[in-house]
Structure 1
Amino acid sequence: MPTNRQILLDNRPQGEATLANFKLVSTETPALQDGQVLVRHHYLSLDPYMRGRMNDAKSYAACQPLGQVFQGGTVGEVVESRHPRFAVGDKVVGYGGWQEYSVVDANQPGMLKKVDTTRVPLSHYLGAVGMPGVTAWYGLNKIIAPKAGQTLTVTAASGAVGSAFGALARARGCRVVGIAGGPDKCRYVTDELGFDACIDYRQHGDVKSMSAALKAECPDGIDGHFENVGGYILDAVLLRTNAFARIALCGMIAGYDGQPLPMANPALLLINRIRLEGFIVSEHMDVWPEALAELGQLVGSGKLRPRESIAQGIESAPQAFLGLLKGKNFGKQLVKMV
């Protein structure tokens, strides 16, 4: 059996996460038992929600245990199987964590799923045709529920969730305005993803400036907003929302290092009768088949062209993850293993 290199959570962050919180180890992969499958990971998924799980604090998911493989989504190839549904060479998506190999009990429902890579690249099953894409689909359809012609905004527009949100919203006839960091990301959002406009938050670093930029790009106000970041950008969005606007709250990356994120003018929620709903997409597994079918069609047809930032090798995962938290990635952040 192969030697398996793994990244463990060695200790919990005190404020900002650092490389010292992680540890790289090598271990021997155990022999398979009946019903188990050995997967060689091709890509690891790095996602902002992982930062919250590093803390030993109340959250919507259990915290990451110390001394264990850092948890996260993976795609790869079956290299050995003792389960009748999986054969050597099958491409699969799972939750194998930050390691080169994983031994999976394939009898457990949802632990491993075969995927078709003829039209959708394997890596996209961790992004546009995976959890981030379904997150965008759920927030758009089940919370914002837009009508054609309405104006929608989304933060982190060039990322895995934001780019999928834009493609889905455009397919429903909406005007879509993204918010992203830097001219390159904004050009990608408009030129390649087809957003109607994109606002560079680095050029609008406070509520007043961002609100003015939103007013210019959303002259008819904002009917729906998908929030990944929080902080002053959300305050600015609230100033521009129409009556009965809907906000899908997916992430608050501005506060993942433990900083409080006070809301400047919460009375706007009442004044505009806004519906604001936080959600965790893993609690809505019933929508995944429908969502993944539409997302697969968008990627396969070229209507959604996701961008990826790819780090090389298991040892690069911690540094790439810390960069993700600071917005250094461009699109979905992955680690390539093979």
Structure 2
Amino acid sequence: MIGDDEDRRTGRRPALLKAAGLTLVGILVLGIGTAGWAYWHLNSNIKSVDINSALGDDRPAKASPSPSASASAAAPLPTEAVNILVLGSDSRSGTENQALGGGSSTGARSDTAMVVHIDAGRTTATVVSIPRDTLVTRPSCPLSDGGSTAVSYGAMFNSAYSVGGPVCAVKTVESITGVRMDHYMEIDFSGFAKLVNALGGVTVTTDEDIDDADSHLTLKAGTHHLNGKQALALARTRHGIGDGSDLGRIGLQQKLVKALLEQISSTNLLTSPTELYSVADAITGSLTTDTGLDSLTELMSLGESLKGLSADDVKTVTMPVVTAPSNANRVVAKEPAASELWESLR
């Protein structure tokens, strides 16, 4: 997620670590009514981008089926791992996004990216956060008008989305990781807040006091049950947390990811069709995916494959980084640790 435009280290833009991918599939596991208008409305909510066609074959190889993945005849488990790039967007479209901090200018930016790796068999998952201020070589990306962006050396990671949208974000992640992104998901300010509200809030424990004028959040250290607006503010908080950088904020946001998953698993939405529909509408209404996940049928299929995955099975990590030699306000991948991490996800 995006905050102010300043590039100083202690004022880095807040990055909303959305739990979009895992929260979405966790909810869909609980079931979505597929009859009549409700199905049509939820299905038509979903926006998509044809990333596969845009990028063609110049990409990392897809994961190979695992010969050791077990399966039963009645309910075969997937035999290959899947990687999903999940972005949080500060879209300026609509008054709701503007009121929640999207600003008044046009367009959208994304300062948060996480690679969600789900293993073959769908029994564990790893969520890797990529700091927005990581300096990378941004590859040439195709544009919708038939042109392309120029290669940029030493570019901030989050600039990929700004110059080339989801397609360039995916290509940049694949370029720096060597890992194929099988799917893409993006959710905006209002969608995140609506999701938390639809779930009845989320309970998070903070280790230190928070008093951030920019995110408009004041909390004492301890356990708090937050509504959607408060949860969004927590995800955007940077001042007064650690050194005020992306790295400290990412740790706080990863707590929020876990808390959302726990809230989903403890909420029996099947007992209330109204609440179930509200959650599904909140997600799909603010969701953009690749064309491989742009229907309820496809989302539910992915969700069904994850029905045995709990919050305890999800590991959250941050790509290893060190301060950039050229700029104390930026970071670069720490090697060989970063490459070893990405290798483990291939």
* TM-score bin, normalised by smaller chain: under 0.3
TM-score normalised by L of structure 2: 0.25
Structure having the larger proportion of residues in helix: 2
TM-score normalised by L of structure 1: 0.25
Select the structure with the greater relative contact order (CA < 8 A; seq sep ≥ 6): 2
The structure that has the greater radius of gyration is 1
Structure having the larger proportion of residues in strand: 1
